[in-house]
Copies of this chain bind each other. A is one copy, B any other.
């Protein structure tokens, strides 16, 4: 990965790093893996990432890396920011396009993982390798911003869900409670949900109405 200059043109390695979020046990968790032994941060925790291949766009590469390294397929991704600091990677010029990814617990999307990976709760995240702490900063800020103005919460939920489950997602992401009545009013008035006209029972409680995103 030594610097490459041909005909006075400078070539860089293009990489992607992805902050992949998922809610587990009412906690916002991030997927991290051990940096491979060949890398300068061998064995340390880092975001899932890797080099972009000749036949891939950055977006493609994120999908492949999540699938290969963590067994996650069919995931929502969004580009965040590109980090082009000269000495980000001690091995040479590596420019990384950072992505946000969101998923939910759904067995069909998780197959075998090829890397030691772990879902770490945001609030007990260890120090990460490279400049990945900075990428995480961007990612969480971006996610918190977008959940207010868009329907990205859908990617953190299964297809069908109750309003309470939806509210939980919002609360977990922004990190504080919301008023139930105001929340339901705003969501329903916004028109982004469709009622399934069915309910779901859970234990001994009153059944809850099911919704899907339009």
Residues of A at under 8 Å CB distance from B? Answer: 1, 3-7, 9-14, 51-59, 79, 81-82, 84-86, 93, 95, 97
Contacts and interface: CB of A to CB of B under 8 A. Distances in A.
A79 B95 CA distance: 14
A118 to B, nearest CB: 27
Stoichiometry (number of copies): 2
A52 B9 contact: no
A11 B2 CA distance: 10
Contacts of A9: 1, 13, 51
A188 to B, nearest CB: 26
Contacts of A3: 54
Contact of A4 (B4, B58, B59, B95): B4
Contacts of A52: 10, 12, 84
A185 B9 CA distance: 53
A99 to B, nearest CB: 10
